[in-house]
């Protein structure tokens, strides 16, 4: 899941590309590079490490050009290094290419080319595709576009590629399948990128390129074609994102900014949809497909990572309120497991980026079997949004921190409204309960504001436990998936081994881990499991475990037992995950900071996993 940027027009290409790569760096930061084409020909500059290291390495070099492509890498084939960094040059040095994705059948093609005398300077699948294109162009004496079309019909895998050639002036050729590509339309210029963040400051008019499309981009012309060489009409969309959304706004890190944005983002997600005063929930995607949802025989939720945790919470909500059986599937397992999809089944796909490859292919599989697909997505216009039959956006705004925070609470807000609307339509919930839960949900933004008012206590707890080797996160009922999410956040941001567990499961093994060196985080807010969780805390205390508790304001029992407490305002257990997750986001952030980790770009991770 690399970041791709391209520019063609009248401006200096290098500064546009460099700024774009910095905006996309959350997608991968193992190495970066640019290829520029000017009167002197094709020049490639690339460097292992962050974009800043590339910038450093070209100081003093004439980077003049009006055409260029740039890449920031998340390594799949070939370790992070200068030679595996993109762009790659073809053997005849006439073609330069960048690629986001994986070419699965690159090895046999590489062998074919080696037998023909091609030399490879890297371990990447990308360089293989590039020389394959050179070879086809040479053998068929055809245009680059034609050679690319032939090559793409032979390869298997996911790709977004940008190509520039010595011999094709004023042209960038791009293609996509599985990995995202957006093209920004300017006056006499075009911007190409993996998402809109490098484009937003120049134009709001964009085209989302579809799978199996090739784009021939010139300063004042954009042609889209399919692999059958038939012209496609570009569908221009207006971006509703502001530049400020992708700036840090005075916060030290995007993650902290995004945690503190949640009172507004949850409010934005509920606004115009949740109307407690009239008892209505207005969501077009649900309204227009209420029958399919209300009469669903089974709901299967497919997702990955944090989105999968949101799916688990939705399982508890939908089964309790709507009385519809729900299964929550890891997309990567679901797509290969040949799952049983019956008529009347509804698939809910949850994804922040809307580009997660495993979830995308899982949906394609389910769609082939006739399932109704409902998407819960944050990135507008993303592939999962476009492949779904219907859906609801989470309106959390651009999420840049690799660790998902505001998108998670946005997902919970949408899934809560979905469950309430379906339950009310199914009459599986009383009017009183419906209104009570609507009011509790409506009150969440203010309650999150209260939690965020003073986070010094959480910061102190984080510094106290920052040197722990392991952490356990425990919860019951709706708070069990919150415990899983807390453990994931800490793993991602602090590199500390952390596990989430249903609290009652401890006795069946994990309690063997407990001693005075193990911090155990209990998500123990007031709910129907409260008495049970109190005894679970006692079990841990009995083994000298260090108990950190997320407790409901006003509770005295849990705080009396715990070593450290993070309070949240009271609310209904169905809505509680939207509050109890906030202290855990902050705990992981402050532990990461205390350990000096770049929390916006934690090692080995990337924001959107567009390869399997």
Contact of 161 with 152, CB cutoff 8 Å: no
Q: Of 183, 191, 144, nearest to 8 (Cα)?
A: 191
Instruction: Name 509's Cβ contacts closer than 8 Å, sequence gap at least 6.
Output: none
Selected range binding ligand AGP among 245-253, 315-323, 398-406, 551-559, rule: CB under 6 A: 398-406
Contact of 352 with 379, CB cutoff 8 Å: yes
Q: Please report where in the chains the tokens 């290969």 appear, as a residue.
A: 336
Is residue 217 involved in binding ligand AGP (CB under 6 A)? no
| Angstrom distance (rounded) from CA 24 to CA 8 | 18
| Angstrom distance (rounded) from CA 19 to CA 180 | 19
Is residue 304 involved in binding ligand AGP (CB under 6 A)? yes
| Angstrom distance (rounded) from CA 135 to CA 131 | 6
Torsional class of 7: left (φ above 0), alpha (ψ -120 to 50), beta (otherwise):
beta
Is residue 84 involved in binding ligand AGP (CB under 6 A)? no
Is residue 402 involved in binding ligand AGP (CB under 6 A)? yes
| Angstrom distance (rounded) from CA 299 to CA 180 | 28
| Angstrom distance (rounded) from CA 312 to CA 111 | 45
Q: How far is the CB of 207 from ligand AGP (least distance, A)?
A: 22
Selected range binding ligand AGP among 346-354, 388-396, 449-457, 474-482, rule: CB under 6 A: 346-354
Q: Of 343, 290, 407, nearest to 26 (Cα)?
A: 407
DSSP-assigned beta bridge partners for residue 95: 165
Is residue 352 involved in binding ligand AGP (CB under 6 A)? yes
Instruction: Name 308's Cβ contacts closer than 8 Å, sequence gap at least 6.
Output: 328, 330, 331, 350
Residue 171 or 331 having the CB closest to ligand AGP? 331
Q: Report the residue closest to ligand AGP, judged by CB.
A: 305
Torsional class of 325: left (φ above 0), alpha (ψ -120 to 50), beta (otherwise):
beta
Q: How far is the CB of 586 from ligand AGP (least distance, A)?
A: 14
Pair of tokens at residue 131: 């020389």
Contact of 179 with 194, CB cutoff 8 Å: yes
Instruction: Name 505's Cβ contacts closer than 8 Å, sequence gap at least 6.
Output: none
Residue 13 or 362 having the CB closest to ligand AGP? 362
Is residue 332 involved in binding ligand AGP (CB under 6 A)? no
Residue 270 or 304 having the CB closest to ligand AGP? 304
392: helix, strand or coil: strand
Q: How far is the CB of 382 from ligand AGP (least distance, A)?
A: 9
| Angstrom distance (rounded) from CA 379 to CA 464 | 37
- Up-side HSE of residue 298: CA atoms within 13 Å toward CB? 12
Task: Please tell me the total number of residues recorded for the chain in this structure.
Answer: 612
| Angstrom distance (rounded) from CA 246 to CA 399 | 8
Q: How far is the CB of 493 from ligand AGP (least distance, A)?
A: 9
Selected range binding ligand AGP among 94-102, 212-220, 281-289, 353-361, rule: CB under 6 A: 353-361
Contact of 112 with 72, CB cutoff 8 Å: no
Is residue 359 involved in binding ligand AGP (CB under 6 A)? yes
Selected range binding ligand AGP among 200-208, 257-265, 299-307, 458-466, rule: CB under 6 A: 299-307
Residue 219 or 354 having the CB closest to ligand AGP? 354
Respond yes or no: is residue 607 known to be catalytic.
Answer: yes
Q: How far is the CB of 245 from ligand AGP (least distance, A)?
A: 17
Site string for ligand AGP, 479-518 (x = CB under 6 A): -------------x--------------------------
Alpha-helical runs (H) found in 141-252: 144-154
Q: How far is the CB of 412 from ligand AGP (least distance, A)?
A: 13
Residue 171 or 352 having the CB closest to ligand AGP? 352
Other Cβ atoms less than 10 A from the Cβ of 446: the count is: 12
Give the one residue of 84, 404, 571, 610 binding ligand AGP; rule: CB under 6 A.
Answer: 404
Q: How far is the CB of 303 from ligand AGP (least distance, A)?
A: 6
552: helix, strand or coil: strand
| Angstrom distance (rounded) from CA 563 to CA 549 | 8
Q: How far is the CB of 252 from ligand AGP (least distance, A)?
A: 19
CA dist 184 to 191, 202, 494, Å?
5, 8, 37
| Angstrom distance (rounded) from CA 585 to CA 568 | 13
Respond yes or no: is residue 142 known to be catalytic.
Answer: no
Selected range binding ligand AGP among 137-145, 293-301, 363-371, 400-408, rule: CB under 6 A: 400-408
Residue 149 or 309 having the CB closest to ligand AGP? 309
Give the one residue of 356, 494, 552, 571 binding ligand AGP; rule: CB under 6 A.
Answer: 356
Selected range binding ligand AGP among 117-125, 257-265, 302-310, 507-515, rule: CB under 6 A: 302-310
Q: How far is the CB of 384 from ligand AGP (least distance, A)?
A: 8
Selected range binding ligand AGP among 30-38, 350-358, 522-530, 556-564, rule: CB under 6 A: 350-358
Region 12-41 residues binding ligand AGP, contact defined as CB under 6 A? none
Catalytic residue of the set 2, 269, 304, 322: 2
Is residue 584 involved in binding ligand AGP (CB under 6 A)? no
Residue 90 or 331 having the CB closest to ligand AGP? 331
Q: How far is the CB of 331 from ligand AGP (least distance, A)?
A: 8
Q: How far is the CB of 442 from ligand AGP (least distance, A)?
A: 25
Is residue 305 involved in binding ligand AGP (CB under 6 A)? yes
Is residue 351 involved in binding ligand AGP (CB under 6 A)? yes
| Angstrom distance (rounded) from CA 232 to CA 88 | 29
Question: Helix-strand-coil percent breakdown of the chain, rounded to 5?
Answer: 40, 25, 35
Selected range binding ligand AGP among 162-170, 338-346, 348-356, 365-373, rule: CB under 6 A: 348-356
Residue 165 or 352 having the CB closest to ligand AGP? 352
Is residue 609 involved in binding ligand AGP (CB under 6 A)? yes
Give the one residue of 165, 353, 479, 580 binding ligand AGP; rule: CB under 6 A.
Answer: 353
Preceding peptide of 198 cis, ω within 30° = no
205: helix, strand or coil: strand
Residues lying near ligand AGP in the complex (CB under 6 A): 304-307, 351-353, 356, 359, 402-404, 492, 608-609
Which residues does the annotation mark as catalytic? 2, 607
């Amino acid at each position: 899941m690399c970041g791709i940027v391209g520019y063609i027009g009248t401006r200096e290409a290098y500064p546009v590309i460099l700024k774009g790569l910095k905006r996309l760096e959350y997608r991968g930061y193992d190495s970066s590079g640019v290829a520029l084409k000017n009167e002197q020909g094709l020049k490639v500059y690339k460097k292992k490490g962050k974009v800043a290291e590339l910038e450093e390495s070209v100081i003093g070099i004439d980077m003049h050009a009006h055409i260029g492509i740039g890449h920031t890498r998340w390594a799949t084939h070939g370790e992070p290094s200068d030679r595996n960094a993109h762009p790659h040059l073809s053997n005849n040095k006439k073609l330069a290419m960048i690629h986001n994705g994986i070419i699965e059948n690159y090895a046999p093609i590489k062998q074919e080319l080696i037998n023909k005398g091609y030399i490879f300077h890297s371990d990447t699948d990308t360089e293989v595709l590039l020389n394959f294109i050179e070879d086809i162009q040479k053998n068929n004496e055809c245009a680059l576009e034609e050679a690319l079309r032939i090559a793409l019909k032979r390869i298997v895998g996911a790709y977004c590629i940008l190509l520039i050639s010595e011999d094709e002036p004023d042209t960038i050729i791009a293609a996509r399948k599985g990995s995202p590509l957006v093209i920004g339309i300017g006056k006499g210029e075009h911007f190409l990128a993996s998402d809109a963040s490098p484009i937003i400051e120049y134009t709001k008019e964009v085209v989302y390129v579809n799978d199996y499309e090739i784009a021939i981009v010139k300063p004042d012309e954009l042609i889209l074609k399919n692999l059958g060489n038939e012209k496609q009409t570009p569908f221009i969309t207006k971006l509703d994102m502001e530049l400020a959304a992708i700036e840090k706004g005075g916060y030290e890190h995007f993650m902290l900014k995004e945690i503190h944005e949640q009172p507004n983002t949850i409010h934005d997600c509920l606004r115009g949809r949740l109307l407690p005063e009239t008892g209505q929930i207005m969501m077009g995607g649900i309204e227009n497909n209420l029958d399919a949802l209300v009469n669903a025989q089974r709901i299967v939720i497919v997702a990955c990572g944090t989105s999968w945790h949101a799916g688990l919470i939705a399982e508890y909500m939908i089964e309790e309120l709507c009385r519809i059986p729900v299964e929550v599937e890891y997309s990567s397992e679901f797509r290969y497991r040949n799952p049983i999809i019956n008529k009347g089944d509804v698939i809910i796909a949850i994804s922040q980026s809307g580009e997660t490859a495993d979830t995308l292919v899982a949906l394609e599989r389910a769609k082939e079997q006739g399932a109704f697909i409902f998407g819960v997505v944050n990135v507008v216009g993303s592939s999962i949004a476009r492949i779904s039959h219907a859906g609801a956006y989470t309106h959390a705004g651009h999420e840049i921190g690799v660790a998902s925070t505001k998108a998670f609470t946005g997902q919970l807000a949408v899934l809560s409204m979905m469950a309430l609307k379906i339950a009310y339509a199914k009459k599986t919930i009383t009017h009183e309960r419906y209104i009570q839960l609507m009011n509790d949900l409506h009150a969440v933004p203010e309650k999150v504001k209260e939690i965020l008012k003073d986070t010094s206590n959480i910061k102190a707890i984080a510094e106290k436990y920052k040197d722990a080797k392991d952490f356990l996160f425990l919860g019951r009922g709706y708070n069990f998936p919150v415990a899983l999410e807390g453990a994931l956040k800490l793993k991602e941001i602090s590199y500390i081994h952390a596990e989430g567990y249903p609290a009652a499961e401890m006795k069946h093994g994990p309690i063997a881990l407990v001693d005075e060196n193990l911090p155990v985080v209990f998500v123990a807010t007031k709910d129907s499991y409260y008495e049970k969780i109190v005894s679970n805390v006692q079990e841990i205390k009995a083994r000298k475990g260090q108990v950190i508790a997320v407790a409901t304001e006003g509770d005295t029992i849990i705080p009396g037992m715990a070593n450290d407490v993070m309070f949240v305002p009271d609310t209904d257990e169905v809505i509680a995950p939207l509050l109890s997750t906030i202290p855990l986001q902050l705990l992981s952030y402050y532990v990461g900071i205390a350990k000096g980790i770049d929390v916006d770009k934690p090692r080995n991770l990337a924001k959107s996993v567009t390869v399997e």
